Copies of this chain bind each other. A is one copy, B any other.
Amino acid sequence: MEEQLDNERVEKIAFVLKTIAHPMRVGIIDLLSRNEKMSVNDITAYLGLEQSLTSHHLANLKMKGVLGSKRDGKNIFYFLKMKEAPEIIKILEDVKVNVF
């Protein structure tokens, strides 16, 4: 049997999960798992959100190491950096949820 997770591990795991745990951010990660990179405009359009809100979420995901970004002319392209992120979403693709 494997060892039990120590406190620091548990904290880090929860931290990453908290970072991803939002519909908008799950959507962004899903999008970026199908497209190598996307501009803020594209992401905003695909998800049908407001520019500012998208930016906030992207900044959040980047700050915490889930995404990276690179400017190209006027555009800034975001891309996946944490490979685990889409794997987690994949696992939950068919999950059943308790409605209440």
Contact = CB atoms under 8 A, between A and B. Distances in A.
Interface in A27-71: 27, 30-31, 34, 63-65
Place the interface of chain A in its size category. Answer: 35 or more
Nearest to A65: B98
Contacts of A34: 1-2, 4
Nearest to A92: B13
A53 to B, nearest CB: 15
A44 B82 CA distance: 33
Interface in A71-100: 82, 84, 87-89, 91-93, 95-98, 100
21 contacts: A2-B34, A4-B30, A5-B26, A5-B27, A5-B89, A9-B93, A10-B23, A10-B26, A12-B92, A12-B95, A13-B26, A14-B26, A17-B20, A17-B88, A63-B100, A65-B96, A65-B98, A87-B91, A88-B88, A88-B91, A91-B91
